[in-house]
Structure 1
Amino acid sequence: MPDVPSEKALLAMSESDYMDAAQQAFFRDRLLALAKDCEQELADARQALQTPPQSDPLDAAADEEACRHQLRFLARRQVLLGKIRQALRRLNQGDYGYCQISGEPIGLRRLLARPTTEYCAEVKTRLEANERHYAHS
């Protein structure tokens, strides 16, 4: 198994090293850590939802609102966990780091900012413009 570079060392690598074994190891570690954190947050949120509130009936509305927030948080985290798992699958298949539409490299800086991204910046910008266009139609 290759040594896992630091983020600084990763950014100092040449373009010819893009998605070599060391960079793949770096992103695998990062994605696994994100998945672990996400799974822990989901478990904590589920536990909080299972614990019945010990408040007085007048606080029921506040408890219900807090429950709604927790459910939205759970839904967002569940989606994120799915994206992390998809990114790990792409990494295992050798597709990670490359745009799913153009096939161009996504770039290290973009992957560091959003390790689950599937698209290079140009394609993502075009997709968002299309979404805005169709949303207003």
Structure 2
Amino acid sequence: MQAPDPTSATLSVEQMLAAPESDYMNAAQQAFFRQRLVELHDSTRARIRDTKAQIMNPPELVDLSDRASWEEQCLILMRIVDREQKLLPKIQQALERIRLNEYGYCLETGEPIGIARLLARPTAELCADVKLCSELKEHMYVKERHV
């Protein structure tokens, strides 16, 4: 009988959070995030497909206010589709980082991103400190442009 493959047993979120730092991005954790990213990719594609189908099949509307409401709803749905379409390449890039054993580490510092952050945002590329600094710089740049 062969020893069980550590990637075949799915870890729970609680197990992920309770794991010691020495287990960071081991095979089981990578398998957990690979599965989570694949599911996120599939569900995102399904939502995009369903939303596009909804937009393409407008109801019969005779009332002008109903038509205006429908058009406003379509604009909101199109923004959602646009945002979700931008997520797909990020998911694919994260899956590629798993394949290259680079997933879970900050692209700028090489430091661990952290399980909690990856659970919240599995496509994260930067650790929280670097992301915060990046957002602050961006905010300052936007403020300076408007002054």
TM range (shorter): over 0.9
TM-score, reference length from structure 2: 0.88
The worse-fitting range, judged by mean Cα deviation, of 73-82 and 118-127 is 73-82
User: Residues of 1 paired with 2:111 and 2:79: CA distance?
Assistant: 34
Letter in 2 for 1:41: R
Q: Could you say which residue in structure 1 is the equivalent of 2:137?
A: 130
User: Residues of 2 paired with 1:106 and 1:4: CA distance?
Assistant: 21
Deviation string, structure 1 residues 75-121 (Cα, Å, up to 9, x no partner): 11111222212111111111110001111000111111111111001
Q: Could you say which residue in structure 2 is the equivalent of 1:40?
A: 46
Greater than 4 Å deviation, 4+ residue runs: none
Q: How does 1:5-84 map to 2 (within 5 A)?
A: 5-58=11-64, 59-84=66-91
User: Residues of 1 paired with 2:129 and 2:69: CA distance?
Assistant: 44
SS of corresponding position for 1:96: coil
Unpaired runs of at least 5, structure 1:
none
User: Residues of 2 paired with 1:93 and 1:73: CA distance?
Assistant: 31
Aligned residues: 137
Larger radius of gyration: 2
TM-score, reference length from structure 1: 0.94
Unpaired runs of at least 5, structure 2:
none
CA RMSD after TM alignment: 1.2
